[in-house]
């Protein structure tokens, strides 16, 4: 019987090649999208799971809040915590909690100039880390001893890629690197490159004892922030017991700071589920994961709906087959199994093509998502199992209703020729078309909103000038710092240069918080922790940041370099000033410096537009705190100016590589993940509308064939091609219009949730939906007209010759 079913299924596929092609292509694309999305989701969910003990690794979250004496403080919310914290908490955890097996701490990444022989590379992303790193994290050491590699001062472990840059394929162990033209580091190990699905990334590991030699005092203070703390629980230890003891732990170690508290977070939650700030690496979005899963299901459902629609629409063609077989005694259950098997067979063909299509599409999807998916997954048994489940599920989902529908035909009606599809069945097909286009239009409108928001982000007035701004990165080189003013002047003398400034950081880069006491309107001093920019006299005018009150730092006032501070409007409000001018002349104390506020700048977006402008203080940075030189270049002189500055740099700082980037490019990198999200959404939206139109094309073709005699009669009676197109197409266009009406509120609901992630966002305008509706109607019209026009142009003699 099974062999007989296969033979009939094969005959039907070959007999109706056009409809079989539409079904197979639709299911192929739908299944391929599901596989691609599943691979992307799997990659996102696999972050940090390469650590063999990831289920027992936790990290310490910390809060640093200002609390006035006698003030009651509420419990912190998830957003109050940050991963970046102080050093003393690590040793204290190990001493107080028997549940803790190992503690590892590492510092913020640094960029150092590494030199070996004639090779000089400014190496980014080097982290100082405890010697217990290899006991907690599953980083594979290719050379060296994991027990001792990070113990001695001035020890460095390089990644395999970085080691090859300096030493080629030779053994790197024991080699000496010159660092920042001063220190000598010994290579004590080579570690395999960190997997792509790791939140903690690095190009090299420096022993923490090296950092202690640099700045030992920073390891003693609970208020100094520059460390990430992770710990490994012992087997069978429970984190709940540690959490319950946190109040007592804080009372023993840091009772003098009521604004400080800690919490513990699983490493498994760090990438997708953490709301803490100051993360050590990239973070994903669980809401995006859910959204892409929904999109995968939507696309597959649209493809299955195509199959159901075409199968039920073609019921008249198979009605006699069903009637004859029922008359011969075939049971309805047997017929259902036959039709279901046909569906599964089509699904199997589609699955085979889907694997090939997915393999070919993987580089494109990797480029759009910014996430590298390992191609080896195609040779895994896990993928084979999931493909089998997907094939079976798709076949059953697509075929169960047509199988039930076709098996219910009454042989007496069919064989007498009086069988006609019921209005209920026709209504179902219409409902399915509406369902398809509702989902497709929602995706298209959502994509339009995403790109509108991205365009808004790129064009939003940030409050400073970022175009034609060249940033020279000298990473605190001592010689550059010593001669910073003369270097600035030499660069400023080059053709095409408008102005030059220096600072510790530039917009878009990391900024520290600074404990700052400032005078309130009532004269009392209030402590807060605003962000801090350390800049020179020329920074504010170079970036054209507007002043709303007071003045900028000036060389004419000797005290400006030691006793002056400029704040932004948000900081003025933080300290209680409704009008920025009221803050001028008020006292402040910050990081060992006391003086008065001399100016207030307009709020400018020095961070991503995902967040609102935070309170900011700007103070004169002594040369030993500067890391960047900003050069404003005239439009049209970029290439020549860069070349001139490069030649100058070799003269004024021969010990330092010429490293530069443009401020607008680096600032826009903050929206890279949003851009990837928009690119993926647009890809899957286009595929969804394509599959929906594929089904509409098949239905239009079938409808035109069924009504060919009606069309012939209309033509004989004088109807034009336009009249025929309207006759056939109006019903379909009405369905698309209904889908548009349903899709609009659905899209608004979903996209408003997505836009909540942005502090600065567009409003969803009617124009987006007008554009989407026009596009959907145009696509549907073109799809329908292709076959309708063809039917309208057919000679009526051919369609009426049998009447």
**Three-state secondary structure call for residue 757:** coil
pLDDT of 793 > 80? The answer is no
Q: What is the pLDDT of residue 163?
A: 96
Tell me what the mean pLDDT of segment 177-194 comes to.
Answer: 94
- Among 632, 649, 667, the domain boundary falls at 667
Give the H or E element holding residue 5.
helix 2-15
Looking at the domain assignment, is residue 461 inside a domain? no
pLDDT of 339 > 80? The answer is no
- R_g over Cα of the chain: 34
Q: What pLDDT, in 10s, does the model give residues 746-766?
A: 999 989 988 988 889 999 989
Scored b (16 or more CB within 10 A) or e, 194-209 reads bbebbbbbbbbbbbbb
Helix axes 286-313, 17-45, angle to 10 degrees: 170
Whether residue 787 sits in one domain with residue 704: yes
52 and 138 in contact (C-beta within 8 Å)?
yes
725 pLDDT band (50/70/90 cuts)?
Answer: confident
pLDDT of 425 > 60? The answer is no
195 and 140 in contact (C-beta within 8 Å)?
no
Domain of 533 in residue numbering reads as 469-667
Tell me what the mean pLDDT of segment 547-564 comes to.
Answer: 96
- What's the rounded Cα separation, in Å, for the pair 331 and 19? 27
Whether residue 358 sits in one domain with residue 297: yes
Whether residue 438 sits in one domain with residue 295: yes
Q: Nearest-CA neighbor of 420 among 327, 315, 513, 511?
A: 315
Looking at the domain assignment, is residue 562 inside a domain? yes
Q: What pLDDT, in 10s, does the model give residues 629-657?
A: 999 999 889 999 999 999 999 999 999 99
Q: How big is the CA angle at 613 (ends 611 and 618), to the nearest 5 degrees?
A: 135
pLDDT of 308 > 70? The answer is yes
What one-character DSSP code corresponds to residue 380? S
Looking at the domain assignment, is residue 519 inside a domain? yes
Contacts with 443 (C-beta within 8 Å, 6 or more apart), sequence order: 295, 298, 681, 684, 685, 688, 689
Please name every residue paired with 587 in a beta bridge, in sequence order, or none if there are none: 596
More confident residue, 27 or 426: 27
pLDDT of 565 > 60? The answer is yes
Whether residue 197 sits in one domain with residue 103: yes
CA atoms within 13 A on the CB side of 68: 5
Looking at the domain assignment, is residue 275 inside a domain? no
Q: What pLDDT, in 10s, does the model give residues 244-256?
A: 999 999 999 998 8
Here the tokens at position 56 are 């027992």
Whether residue 222 sits in one domain with residue 155: yes
Strand bridging mode 628-633 / 469-473: antiparallel
285 pLDDT band (50/70/90 cuts)?
Answer: confident
Q: What is the pLDDT of residue 182?
A: 86
Among 115-129, 228-242, 374-388, 592-606, the range scoring the smallest mean pLDDT is: 374-388
Q: What is the pLDDT of residue 716?
A: 72
- What's the rounded Cα separation, in Å, for the pair 698 and 678? 30
Average pLDDT of the chain? 87
Number of structural domains in the chain: 3
574 and 605 in contact (C-beta within 8 Å)?
no
pLDDT of 662 > 90? The answer is yes
Looking at the domain assignment, is residue 464 inside a domain? no
Whether residue 710 sits in one domain with residue 688: yes
CA atoms within 13 A on the CB side of 81: 20
224 and 192 in contact (C-beta within 8 Å)?
no
158 pLDDT band (50/70/90 cuts)?
Answer: very high
Whether residue 714 sits in one domain with residue 659: no
Tell me what the mean pLDDT of segment 596-609 comes to.
Answer: 95
Query: Exposed (0-12), middle (13-18) or buried (19+): which is 473, by Cβ within 10 Å?
Result: buried
Q: Nearest-CA neighbor of 784 among 674, 673, 704?
A: 704
Q: What is the pLDDT of residue 690?
A: 87
Percent of the chain with pLDDT over 70: 87
Whether residue 396 sits in one domain with residue 356: yes
- What's the rounded Cα separation, in Å, for the pair 773 and 748? 14
Q: What pLDDT, in 10s, does the model give residues 448-486?
A: 999 999 889 888 999 999 999 999 999 889 999 999 999
**Phi/psi of residue 654, each to 5°?**
-65, -20
Helix H, strand E, coil C: the string for 555-580 is CCCCCHHHHEEEEEHHHHHHCCCCCH
**Phi/psi of residue 639, each to 5°?**
-60, -50
- Would you mind telling me the total number of residues written for the chain in this entry? 803
More confident residue, 463 or 694: 463
Residue bearing tokens 């949003």: 674
Q: Could you give the C-alpha distances from 68 to 86, 258, 527, 725, in angstroms and in order?
A: 21, 9, 8, 76
- Among 652, 667, 682, the domain boundary falls at 667
Whether residue 127 sits in one domain with residue 40: no
Whether residue 104 sits in one domain with residue 157: yes
**Phi/psi of residue 361, each to 5°?**
-85, -15
- What's the rounded Cα separation, in Å, for the pair 755 and 777? 27
Here the tokens at position 667 are 């600032």
More confident residue, 593 or 670: 593
- Among 638, 667, 696, the domain boundary falls at 667
Q: What is the pLDDT of residue 374?
A: 67
Q: Could you give the C-alpha distances from 666 to 57, 549, 615, in angstroms and in order?
A: 33, 30, 22
Whether residue 684 sits in one domain with residue 584: no
Whether residue 243 sits in one domain with residue 313: no
More confident residue, 394 or 792: 394
Percent of the chain with pLDDT over 90: 51
- Name the maximum alpha-carbon separation found in the chain: 107
Looking at the domain assignment, is residue 620 inside a domain? yes
User: Residue 458 CA to chain centroid, in angstroms?
Assistant: 17
Q: What is the pLDDT of residue 9?
A: 59
Give the H or E element holding residue 697.
helix 672-706
Q: What is the pLDDT of residue 301?
A: 86
pLDDT of 422 > 90? The answer is no
Q: What is the pLDDT of residue 540?
A: 97
């Amino acid at each position: 019987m099974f062999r007989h079913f296969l033979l009939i299924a094969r005959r039907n596929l070959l007999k109706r090649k056009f409809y079989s092609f539409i079904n197979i292509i639709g299911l192929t694309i739908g299944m391929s999208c599901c596989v691609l999305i599943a691979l992307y989701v799997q990659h996102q969910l696999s972050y940090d799971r390469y650590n063999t003990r990831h289920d027992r690794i936790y990290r310490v979250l910390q809060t640093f809040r200002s609390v006035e004496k006698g003030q009651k403080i509420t419990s912190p919310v998830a957003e109050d915590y940050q991963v970046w914290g102080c050093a003393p908490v690590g040793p204290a955890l190990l001493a107080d909690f028997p549940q803790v097996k190992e503690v590892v701490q590492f510092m913020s990444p640094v960029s150092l100039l590494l030199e070996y022989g004639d090779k000089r590379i400014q190496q980014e992303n080097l982290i100082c880390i405890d010697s217990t790193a290899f006991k907690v994290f599953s980083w594979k050491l290719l050379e060296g001893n994991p027990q001792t590699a990070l113990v001695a001062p001035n020890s460095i472990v390089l990644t395999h890629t970085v080691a090859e840059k300096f030493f080629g394929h030779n053994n790197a162990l024991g080699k000496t690197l010159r660092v920042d033209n001063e220190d000598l580091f010994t290579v004590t190990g080579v570690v395999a490159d960190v997997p792509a699905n790791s939140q903690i990334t690095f190009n090299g590991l420096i022993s923490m004892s090296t950092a202690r030699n640099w700045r030992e005092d920073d390891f003693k203070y609970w208020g100094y922030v520059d460390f990430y703390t992770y710990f490994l629980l012992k087997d069978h230890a429970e984190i709940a017991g540690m959490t319950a003891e946190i109040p007592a732990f804080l009372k023993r170690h840091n009772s003098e700071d009521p604004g400080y508290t800690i919490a513990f977070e699983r490493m498994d939650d760090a990438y997708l589920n953490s709301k803490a700030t100051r993360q050590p690496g990239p973070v994903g979005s669980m809401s995006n994961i859910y959204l892409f899963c929904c999109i995968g299901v939507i696309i597959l459902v649209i493809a299955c709906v195509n199959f159901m629609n075409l199968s039920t629409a073609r019921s008249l063609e198979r009605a006699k087959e069903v009637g004859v077989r029922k008359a011969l005694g075939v049971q309805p259950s047997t017929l259902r199994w036959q039709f279901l098997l046909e569906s599964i067979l089509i699904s199997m063909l589609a699955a085979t093509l889907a694997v090939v299509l997915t393999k070919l599409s993987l580089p494109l999807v990797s480029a759009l998502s910014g996430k590298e998916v390992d191609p080896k997954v195609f040779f895994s048994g896990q993928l084979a199992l999931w493909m089998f489940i997907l094939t079976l599920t798709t076949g059953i989902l697509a075929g169960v209703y047509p199988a039930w529908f076709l098996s219910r035909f009454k042989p007496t009606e069919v064989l007498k020729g009086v069988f006609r599809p019921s209005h209920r069945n026709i209504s179902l097909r219409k409902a399915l078309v509406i369902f398809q286009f509702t989902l497709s239009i929602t995706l298209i409108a959502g994509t339009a909103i995403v790109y509108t928001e991205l365009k808004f982000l790129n064009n939003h007035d940030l409050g400073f000038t970022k175009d034609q701004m060249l940033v020279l990165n000298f990473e605190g080189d001592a010689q550059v710092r010593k001669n910073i003013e003369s270097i600035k002047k030499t660069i400023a003398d080059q053709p095409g240069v408008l102005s030059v400034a220096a600072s510790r950081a530039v917009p878009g880069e990391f900024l520290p918080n600074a404990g700052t006491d400032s005078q309130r309107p009532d004269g009392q001093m209030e402590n807060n922790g605003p962000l801090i920019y350390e800049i020179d006299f020329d920074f504010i005018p170079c970036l054209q940041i507007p002043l709303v009150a007071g003045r900028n730092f000036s060389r004419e006032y000797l005290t400006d370099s030691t006793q002056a501070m400029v704040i932004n409007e948000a900081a003025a409000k933080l300290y209680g000033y409704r009008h920025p001018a009221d803050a001028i002349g008020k006292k402040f104390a910050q990081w060992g410096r006391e003086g008065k506020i001399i100016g207030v700048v307009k709020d400018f977006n020095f961070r991503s537009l995902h967040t609102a402008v935070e309170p900011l203080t700007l103070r004169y940075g002594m040369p030993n705190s500067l890391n960047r030189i900003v050069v404003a270049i005239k439009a049209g002189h970029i290439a020549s100016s860069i070349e001139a500055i490069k030649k100058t740099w070799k003269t004024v700082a021969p010990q330092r590589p010429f490293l530069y980037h443009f401020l607008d490019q680096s600032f826009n990198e903050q929206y890279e993940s949003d851009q990837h999200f928009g690119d993926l959404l647009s890809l899957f939206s286009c595929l969804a509308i394509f599959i929906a139109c594929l089904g509409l094309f098949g239905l239009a073709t079938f409808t035109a064939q069924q009504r060919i005699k009606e069309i012939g009669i209309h033509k004989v009676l004088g109807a034009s091609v336009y009249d025929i197109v309207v006759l056939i197409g109006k019903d379909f266009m009405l369905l698309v219009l209904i889908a548009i009406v349903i899709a609009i509120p659905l899209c608004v609901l979903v996209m408003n949730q997505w836009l909540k992630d942005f502090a600065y966002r567009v409003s969803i305008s009617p124009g987006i939906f007008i554009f989407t509706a026009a596009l959907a109607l145009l696509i549907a019209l073109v799809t329908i007209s292709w076959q309708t026009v063809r039917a309208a142009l057919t000679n009526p003699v051919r369609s009426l010759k049998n009447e």
